[in-house]
Amino acid sequence: MTTFALPIPKRPTHPTGILNWITTIDHKKIGVLYGVTAFILFLTGGIEALLIRMQLAAPGMDFVSPEIYNQLFTMHGTTMIFLAIMPMGAAFFNYLIPLQIGARDVAFPRLNAFSYWTFLAGAIMLKSSWFLGGAPNAGWFGYAPITEIAYNPGHGIDFWILSLQVLGIASLAAAFNFIVTIINLRAPGMTLMRLPVFTWMTLITSILLVLAFPVITVALIELMFDRFYGMNFFNPVRGGNPVLWQHLFWVFGHPEVYILILPAMGLVSEIIPTFSKKPLFGYPVVIFSGIVIGFMGWMVWSHHMFTVGLGAVANSIFAITTMLIAVPTGVKIFNWIATMWKGSIDFNKTAMLYSIGFIFLFIIGGLSGVMHSSAASDAQQQDTYFIVAHIHYVLFGGAIMALLGGVYFYFPKITGKLMDESLGKINFWLTFIGMNLTFFPMHFSGMDGMPRRIYTYTSEMGWDLWNLISTFGVFIMGAGILIFVLNIVYSYLRGKESGNDPWDARTIEWAIPSPTPEYNFKKIPLIHSVDAFWEFKRNGTPIEPASGASENSEDEKNIHLPQPSYWPMVVSIGIMLAAYGMIFGLPISILGTIIGFIGVYAWSLEPVNEPEQH
């Protein structure tokens, strides 16, 4: 490298403090960054929801202005889906996948850091719209033509478009990375049918991501061109077709739903067997139904559009496929229940309570989902609070419950400390009760015809009671989440030492010390079965180091780890500036593009520091 004199600074060696975090390419630190950032954004989305519920608490309220109200529900939906649930899933992917497959890191550690920083850039961009002229206000699926410039002249939609593009880049980069990691970096002996279920679900999620995101990218590009350059894609006045937006959005949007729920299903499939002391019932069936869900997720998108008028044939076909996709989902639920059947279930663990809560609430959400798979019935439910109830039962009752359970389950792995179980139980019950108080009444207000997204309503409609209960429930749920935060802080500071394997768990990430050492596995293990660590503990099948793996080392100092780098963040900053420049002026875009290019070149040319002398 000495012959090649480019002015690229050396990689940071042993950075400390903040530099450590911004140059890190360690999947565990990136996972923690993802988790903390996503949780903070989850809280902001929660505050937006709280304001919505305050406005709807009683008829004729004027708590926020109608303009702000529209921005609130748009930002709430967009935040929760793209900035909270997806990155919380990504936090678990990052932390767990290399541990579950017995690897030192992901396949492309710097790309992984880039995913995080780009996600953060997109999040900052979306949230900054509140302070830069108004947030987007067209709902989280931004149906055209309300998003067209003629009807929506402010910058809100521009922020929405551009930040979703930036977030898309982040998600795509992460998904490519995990596909390659799971295919290529498995420890010897870890065949596909020995992968932990969470890893399997991550693989399916990542494949869905790389296939679904390009479609929304195109739709957003087209909308952006309409707005910025006066093109006609979704502008009916010039022959454009707004229904095409709906199609493109839902071609992406429906796989996206499974992108949100499959990681949660994966986590639950880890937690339930552990606390039932039984292997997962029908492991291959769980995997197979995951694959079927991933495949069939592409055939159902028009069920979001039953009232558009696609015709009887199209509606019937999509109604049938939608009913069919409930089958693999139901199969999974039976698998979890059968796993618990006759197991010695530990109800004292919050993670288990959350998992059972997940099953319970997800069944309710799934059943209301099957109800509107019938096109005729959906015509009554479309755009009412019944749909709002459904989506919250599957996304809060489903995804969030499982993710919170996952935090309780994996907190010892990350910090080496146990989370407080008494606080945990209060946390769980408040969240569970609050969640049901908030969202269950929405079934009734929806059936009574209350449309979603309305600013207010009159008392004659008869929706007062349901709305009041819903608003009341939000406060209980909020209290539950506050206790969760309290528990995290308390346990991080004062929590009991957990030891390596506090749950008597099954998969190999628990075979190594907690908190996880920087190099994960001192020796790359050789895998003989699914649940290898359980086999080791119960049947004495040893987890021996794979012979011939060149990375193995007795002395941890000899383990080569990928080195930190400045450039992933530089590229992300470039992308963020390029996106901001689309709104605030071309020079900023050009500057961003230049920074991005410098970052990419430096990234591909930066030297690797020589291994230190020992």
Q: Which residues bind other proteins (CB under 8 A)?
A: 1, 3-4, 103-105, 107-108, 172, 176-177, 179-180, 183-188, 190, 207, 210-215, 217-219, 221-222, 225-226, 229-233, 238-241, 243-244, 247-248, 251, 298, 302, 310, 314, 524, 549-551, 560, 562, 601, 607-608
Closer Cβ to other proteins, 131 or 229, answer by number? 229
Q: Do the Cβ atoms of 534 and 279 come closer than 8 Å?
A: yes
Closer Cβ to other proteins, 210 or 345, answer by number? 210
Token pair for 201: 């679900």
Helix (H) or strand (E) holding 122: helix 109-128
Q: C-beta of 225: minimal distance to other proteins in Å? A: 6
What is the distance, to the nearest Å, from the Cα of residue 380 to the centroid of all Cα atoms in its chain?
30
Closer Cβ to other proteins, 215 or 418, answer by number? 215
- Positive or negative torsion for Cα 471, 477, 483, 487: negative
Closer Cβ to other proteins, 309 or 540, answer by number? 309
d(CA 551, CA 492): 32
Report in angstroms the alpha-carbon separations of 145 from 151, 157, 236, 453.
7, 12, 8, 17
Q: Do the Cβ atoms of 546 and 187 come closer than 8 Å?
A: yes
Q: Given its phi and psi angles, is residue 181 left (phi above 0), alpha (psi -120 to 50 degrees) or beta?
A: alpha
Which has the closest alpha carbon to 181: 90, 73, 277?
Answer: 90
Q: C-beta of 236: minimal distance to other proteins in Å? A: 9
Closer Cβ to other proteins, 45 or 240, answer by number? 240
- Print burial letters for 257-285: b (CB count within 10 Å at least 16), e (below 16): bbbbbbbbbbbbbbbbbbbbebebbbbeb
Token pair for 547: 């012979």
Q: C-beta of 608: minimal distance to other proteins in Å? A: 5
Q: Do the Cβ atoms of 395 and 388 come closer than 8 Å?
A: no
Closer Cβ to other proteins, 231 or 447, answer by number? 231
Q: C-beta of 185: minimal distance to other proteins in Å? A: 6
Q: C-beta of 601: minimal distance to other proteins in Å? A: 7
d(CA 42, CA 85): 8
Q: Do the Cβ atoms of 308 and 246 come closer than 8 Å?
A: yes
Closer Cβ to other proteins, 124 or 183, answer by number? 183
Q: C-beta of 111: minimal distance to other proteins in Å? A: 8
Q: C-beta of 144: minimal distance to other proteins in Å? A: 13
Q: C-beta of 238: minimal distance to other proteins in Å? A: 7
Q: C-beta of 47: minimal distance to other proteins in Å? A: 35
| Residues contacting 154, CB < 8 A, separation 6+ | 133, 134, 137
Q: Do the Cβ atoms of 152 and 196 come closer than 8 Å?
A: no
Closer Cβ to other proteins, 226 or 501, answer by number? 226
Closer Cβ to other proteins, 123 or 305, answer by number? 305
